[in-house]
Amino acid sequence: MASELFAICFNATRPSGLARFWSGVLGWEQVDGPDGDIAVLPPDPTGFRIRFRPGREPKTAQNRAHFDLTSASPEDQRQTVARVLELGGIHIDVGQLPEEGHVVLADPDGNEFCVIEAGNEFLADTGVIGALACDGTQEVGYFWSGALRWPLVWDQEQETAIQSPDGGTKITWGGPPVAPKAGTNRLYFELALPAGADRDAEVGRLVSLGATLTGEGEGGMLLMLDPDGNEFSVQRPRQGN
């Protein structure tokens, strides 16, 4: 049985403040975790949580992944942007053109994200987080499709996207050129093994798909790298939040 996407994790300089920001932007419930972390929980049980863990490394480069938030209407997009600014986010320039309809912002910890204009067909029916948009190769898109057993919903010109069979947020990779990796990623995937799964067998499966096992963290959490060198972790499901 394949690992499940348990959470998108942020290494944050101020986890509690960042959790309050994203809880306010998304309207999701904020909860304290068992390891001193903080999480916001999706209203839909098929979605993934967002966890905020202490991280000391300052941000020095653009993240390899960012959220694309959806809009139901032009007014909804304006309201989302206004809410972001009220909660401590800022406008940023990453080279977007004036005629582009999306709005590029950063959270209080400097993590980039976009509020996409209404009418985007690719993100239709995905939820408030339409996509986790990643800088990555076609190979890594294929890897994560196999790792999570999520089907490819886009595979053209080395750009790939996957989505859970249950729907929800898409994960996309933009293809080359891929910017060089600068230090440890601030955003990373946390996978959980289903109850009763054989951990060694699952690690072997992930390695056969192209992952690298790098070590073991707290609580027996396994630390791994995907084919593009992005960190991710694998752990058994835990009780509670």
Q: What is the pTM of this model?
A: 0.94
- Supply angle C-alpha 136, 138, 143, rounded to 5: 90
Most confident stretch, 52-56, 182-186, 225-229:
225-229
Cα pseudo-dihedral 159, 162, 163, 165, rounded to 10: 140
- Reported confidence tier of residue 240, pLDDT bands at 50, 70, 90: very low
pLDDT tens digit sequence for 98-121: 778 999 999 999 999 999 999 999
Q: What HEC string does 102-161 produce?
A: CEEEECCCCCEEEECCCCCHHHCCCCCEEEEEECCCHHHHHHHHHHHCCCEEEEECCEEE
Distance from the Cα of residue 197 to its chain's centroid: 24
Percentage of residues in the chain having pLDDT higher than 70: 96
- Reported confidence tier of residue 7, pLDDT bands at 50, 70, 90: very high
Distance CA 15, CA 54 (A): 6
| Alpha-carbon distances of 105 from 47, 110, 114, rounded to whole Å | 23, 9, 6
Buried/exposed code over 75-97 (b: 16+ C-beta within 10 A; e: otherwise): eebeebbeebeebbbeeeeeeee
Give the pair of three-digit tokens for residue 99.
């005629």
> Tell me, what's the pLDDT at 237?
52
Neighbouring C-beta atoms of residue 133, cutoff 10 Å: 21
